[in-house]
Amino acid sequence: MAVCIAVIAKENYPLYIRNVPTQNELKFHYTVHTSLDVVEEKISAVGKSLADQRELYLGLLYPTEDYKVYGYVTNSKVKFVIVVDSSNTSLRDNEIRSMFRKLHNSFTDVMCNPFHNPGDQIQSKAFDGIVSGMMMQTG
């Protein structure tokens, strides 16, 4: 489904990045990093209209030639970014949304771990499993 899933801390450093074609890691890093600009833009836009605070899903951040980048921001300003192959047309907005929700839940579990130091890289098998599940389905 997704080709790259990233969790980025409030201070915009990566907490977690996984991508499926592992050989092109650098490219995904650049893509995700660049998408943060759009995320910030969207957050600041949301800030103006307070009514819409509840919506954490940011939608499609920007399309590139090969990929579509989706964003999601938690209330604590932790960002989730999912990169999806452009050729994958079967994915609809709702499914992306549910992926983010799942990711968010798992992330919350990670944060609830009393041994996790907030701000550290995420090293959780459960989280890994969830992420792998989201990436696996493309086969």
Q: Which residues bind other proteins (CB under 8 A)?
A: 9, 11-14, 25-26, 29-30, 33-38, 40-41, 44
Rounded to the nearest whole angstrom, what is the least distance from the CB of residue 94 to other proteins in the complex?
Answer: 28
Nearer to other proteins, 44 or 49 (CB): 44
Dihedral angle sign, alpha carbons of residues 98, 51, 119, 13:
positive
**Ramachandran angles phi, psi of 41, nearest 5°:** -60, -45
Distance of alpha carbon 3 from alpha carbon 19, whole angstroms:
5
Closest CA to 97 of 48, 127, 56, 54: 56
Rounded to the nearest whole angstrom, what is the least distance from the CB of residue 46 to other proteins in the complex?
Answer: 13
Nearer to other proteins, 13 or 126 (CB): 13
**Ramachandran angles phi, psi of 76, nearest 5°:** -90, 20
Distance of alpha carbon 53 from alpha carbon 61, whole angstroms:
18
Nearer to other proteins, 68 or 91 (CB): 68
Rounded to the nearest whole angstrom, what is the least distance from the CB of residue 111 to other proteins in the complex?
Answer: 18
Nearer to other proteins, 19 or 99 (CB): 19
Rounded to the nearest whole angstrom, what is the least distance from the CB of residue 29 to other proteins in the complex?
Answer: 5
Dihedral angle sign, alpha carbons of residues 26, 27, 28, 32:
positive
Nearer to other proteins, 40 or 85 (CB): 40
Token digits of residue 129: 């499993």
Rounded to the nearest whole angstrom, what is the least distance from the CB of residue 92 to other proteins in the complex?
Answer: 26
